[in-house]
Amino acid sequence: MNEDFISISWVQLLIALSLVSVSGILSIYYKLKLEKDLAIGVVRSFAQLLTMGYLLKILFGLNSAVFVMALYLVMTLFSVNIIHGRVKEKNVSYLLPTGLAVMFSYSLVTILVTRVVIGAQPWWEPQYFISIGGMVAGNSMNSLALSLERFFSELKSRRDEVEMLLCHGADYKEATAEIFRDALRAGMIPAINSLMGVGLVFLPGMMTGQILAGADPEEAVRYQIVVMFMLVASTALSSIIVLQLVRKRCFSGAMILLTGKKK
């Protein structure tokens, strides 16, 4: 690490905390009722990041594939849990398909990047695997939640259209083709917007972090390009898999739409 790197003390962390209190004050003043969520969010981010920091320190020392995979599994399961909390759908069970899609797509993209693109030896080297896996999980989680939320809300608001198509003999795939496309688009737009704006509108966190830590900016940029492309792949792959699995569950065996009943 570069000698110019300035480390952050506990006191400086507490000063940063005052930045969140601005949001808290605004929430109270405008009666947004977000104070509780903000407080929980602050405590959670402190606790989660500190725990992860210590875990990574231990993992780097252990040099064990089993522990790396266990931590990766916990991270992905938490991402499934967060998606489940954000998507409001009671009639269709989507937890298992989400879990399967997340496991498959996150793992495929993460292993491809660490093993093939970066060429880490071994491929599960925690420094790379957990960092890359974390970025894949974090970004794809948002896309998945967006895709699922859009899919379920469109199914409800366009129920008459879906049933009209079913009544003409459409199967469940034909009846939801347009809604499927809309939901997929909704999930992929943030990743595509990032491709458009990166380097012009914003400097991504990973690249900035590397530069702040003293890495060569050119090296940081190369890593960032890999990360951007892998995020596009993982969001597309995970959204397609989850929507394919979930849309089948929105219908019974008799191809009756199960969600958004009027009566």
Partner 1 sequence: MSIPLQGELAGEAPVLEFKNVFFSWPGGKGLSDVSFAVPAGQFVLISGPSGAGKSTLLRLAVRLEEASQGNIFLSGKSLKSYYPPELRAKIGFVQQTPTVLPGSVRDNLLLPFTLNVRKGEAAPSDKVLLQWLGRLGLADVELDSDAYGLSVGQRQRLCLIRSVLPKPLAICLDEPTSALDLESRERVEEIAEELAAEGITVFMVNHTGYYPGCPHMHLTVYEGKVEVL
Binding residues vs partner 1 (CB under 8 A) = 160-161, 163-171, 174, 252, 254-257, 261, 263
CB nearer to partner 1: give 33 or 263.
Answer: 263
Instruction: Give me the half-sphere count of Cα atoms (radius 13 Å) on the Cβ side of residue 137.
Output: 22
Q: What's the chain's Rg over C-alpha atoms?
A: 21
Smallest gap from residue 258 Cβ to partner 1 (A): 11
Smallest gap from residue 93 Cβ to partner 1 (A): 18
**How many Å apart are CA 226 and CA 218, to the nearest integer?**
13
DSSP state of 222: H
Rounded to whole angstroms, the maximal C-alpha distance in the chain is 70
CB nearer to partner 1: give 35 or 178.
Answer: 178
Smallest gap from residue 71 Cβ to partner 1 (A): 44
Smallest gap from residue 157 Cβ to partner 1 (A): 12
Residues 205, 185, 231, CA angle at the centre, nearest 5°? 30
**How many Å apart are CA 162 and CA 156, to the nearest integer?**
9
Residue 129, number of CB atoms within 10 A of its CB: 25
CB nearer to partner 1: give 171 or 216.
Answer: 171
Smallest gap from residue 176 Cβ to partner 1 (A): 13
Smallest gap from residue 161 Cβ to partner 1 (A): 5
**Nearest in space to 242 (alpha carbons), one of 195, 192, 188:** 188
CB nearer to partner 1: give 102 or 165.
Answer: 165
CB nearer to partner 1: give 35 or 161.
Answer: 161
Tell me which amino acid residue 189 is: I
Which residue's structure tokens are 């940029």?
221
CB nearer to partner 1: give 33 or 90.
Answer: 90
